[in-house]
Chain A
Amino acid sequence: MNSLGMLLGGFANALTPANLLMALIGVLIGSLAGMIPGIGPTPAIAILMPFTTALGPVQGIIMLAGIYYGAVYGGSTTAILLGIPAELQAVPVTLDGYPLAKQGKGGPALGIAAISSFVAGVLGVLGLIFFAPLLAAQALKFGPPEYFALMILTLTVIVNLSGASVAKGLVMGLAGYLVSMVGVGPSSGHARFTFGLAPLSAGVEMVSVIIGLFAISEVIIGMGSRTPVTAAEKIGSVYPSRADLKHTAPTMVRSGLIGFFLGLLPGASPAVSAFLSYDVEKRLSKNPGQFGKGELRGVAAPEAAGNATASSGFIPLFTLGIPSSPPLAILLAGLMIYGLQPGPNLFQQSGSFVWAVIASMFIGNVMLVVLHLPLVGIWVKLTQIPLRVLKPIVLILCVVGVYTVRNSMFDVLVAIIFGVIGYFLRKYHWPLVPFILCFMLGPLTELSFVQSMSISNGSLSIFFTSPIALVILILAAVLFAVSVFLMRRSRKRALSLEADRPDLPISIHTN
């Protein structure tokens, strides 16, 4: 069946009343959690992910998709209304969104952001329809050496996810691999790194690590830092005028395309495309001086580009198993909980399920626009909820959420321990996402390596004699260099903005 037919099948699967309700609940909860200052999209997805496991696979993944889109868009709401970007990607949105909010034009800024997100989301789905069959056709050519090369390629993403220091990111990635080895060895069946503790023989549960590192530690560290909370001004109508739409439409398309094509490259993060598109729009503008003072194009460009990259990022995520941003890394974990192994065989092995997921993402995007525009007044009030009320609730949800995955109190203990470890790692600026990425991909990396060695009788040359593996390894080296260049450029821009604009309460979470 062609991909359009598969997509229609996916829509048929996703558009049942029960599934639509799950998408609605997911978008609502995700939006709420993502826009709470001090929590942000990545921890929001981490906290809510375990509860989706109480549902069936399709409903669970649909709710997860809703949570993902809701949380990411919720992060933009906080960036625009309060000037607090929860992730690096939201910094350029803050530059013009927050001044617009201070001028009483927060409504149109939110409206443009929502429409830009929608345009970008649609581009991502269309891209999946076009590219997925091309990549799926290559799936049968992938054996253990090619998979291992793919895992090496994934390491290039660490550059983008490392925060300020690539060296520290690499150490964290290696530590993630190490923790993934806890349990029983795949070839001999002997226990590794279990220290005689029986519960460790089953390995360390992924959700426990994610909740501990991203949610519990986030709450703990929030007690020691003072997040500047600014009251949102009157925001005006959320529906952009026809003139506003005409003004920003070319920007949405341009930036959406920039973001989309950057997202196809494994290693390009939404933050890179958000900054790049902002710069492009500023250069193309007849009034570049207006940027940074409240220019709607300054909101539309990074929002469309960042979300297009996040959406087209599903292509390397689904076909190669490579996430391009922290929220996508958590979403990858969510897919793996449901038994999906993103990679070249995904479309072959779980085609109908994957297309249902893609369709549900499209539905989640539509719901986001439908819900956010009329209900913006409520969302604005929600950003004012004091964090001290929510922190105890979040912690209780973390504990219960971890327990529900395997009904294991040991997993809860692991989550709390990782919460404490995560606090110190964040405190000393050790990036968490490389750890979790390598932790997730560790078992597949080891398995493909062991199988490759068995095929080649222990010769490492197998990785260089396979044309596909060789091309992937060369690509990994090139992308590593390009990623270092692009990320340094984006970071310099962010740092110079922090220095130039002390009026903006910018506090970027690099973890």
Chain B
Amino acid sequence: MKAGAAGMKQDRIGGVVSIAVGAGSLVEAAILYPFRLNSTSGDFVMPGVVGALLVVMGLLLVFVVKTPPFEIERPDRKAGIQMLGTIVILFAYWWAISELGYVIGTVLASFGLFKVVSGYGWIRAAVYAGIITLVLYVVLIQLLNIALPTGIFNV
């Protein structure tokens, strides 16, 4: 494959996604049409116009427009694991703040991130996680008086 050709192929796929999203928006416009104020005004207009333009732009990207070529830099195995691990930890952090509270959630999440992202050992990651949690606790809760979730342990 020529250099940059992969990027152009991805742009065509992006065009297809644009068409699909635009079609979804047109469907929403059709659902909202009965609640119109008049034929050119109401909540259906913007979804309709934006949906139609997305379909048109998508078609242009797929069939007409030649976007500038670009290289897609794929992450190596280690970086891929780091990225995936980071995303999993972020979602887990979101859950942990609600259920376990901000303090426990932040200790666990920052420990995980220092392990996965920074590649630190257990002890160093734990120390850094403790420091970060403590500093943020003092700044956010003590100084700025921000109310953060306390979770089932009320911490």
Contact = CB atoms under 8 A, between A and B. Distances in A.
A279 to B, nearest CB: 22
B119 A407 contact: no
B46 A446 contact: yes
A429 B50 contact: no
What is the size category of the interface that chain B forms with chain A?
35 or more
A472 interface: no
B75 A450 contact: no
A509 interface: no
Contacts of B18: 171, 174-175
Interface string B89-122: 0110110011000100010011001100111000
A181 interface: yes
A186 interface: yes
A178 B114 contact: no
Nearest to A165: B67
Interface in A412-444: 412-413, 416, 419-420, 423, 427-430, 442
B68 A165 contact: yes
Given A188-B32, A412-B94, A171 B148 contact: no
B155 interface: no
A178 B90 contact: no
B3 interface: no
A192 interface: yes
Contact of B110 (A168, A392, A457): A392
Nearest to A168: B67
A496 interface: no
Main SS of chain A's interface residues? Answer: helix
Interface in B35-82: 35-43, 45-47, 50-51, 53-54, 57-58, 60-61, 65, 67-68, 70, 72-76, 79-80, 82
A392 B132 contact: yes
B32 A185 contact: yes
A399 B133 CA distance: 13
Contact of B144 (A54, A174, A388, A453): A54
Nearest to A170: B57
A168 B11 contact: yes
Nearest to A428: B10
A460 interface: yes
B50 A177 contact: yes
Interface residues of A, number: 62
Interface of A: 51, 54-55, 164-165, 167-168, 170-171, 174-175, 177-178, 181, 185-188, 190, 192-193, 216, 219-220, 223-225, 388-389, 391-393, 395-397, 399-400, 403-404, 407, 409, 412-413, 416, 419-420, 423, 427-430, 442, 445-446, 449-450, 453-454, 457-460
19 contacts: A168-B61, A171-B15, A171-B58, A181-B47, A186-B43, A187-B35, A192-B32, A216-B90, A220-B86, A224-B83, A391-B113, A392-B113, A400-B140, A407-B147, A428-B10, A430-B14, A449-B46, A450-B42, A453-B41
Interface of B: 7, 10-11, 14-15, 18, 21-22, 25, 28, 32, 35-43, 45-47, 50-51, 53-54, 57-58, 60-61, 65, 67-68, 70, 72-76, 79-80, 82-83, 86-87, 90-91, 93-94, 97-98, 102, 106, 109-110, 113-114, 117-119, 128, 132, 136, 140, 144-149
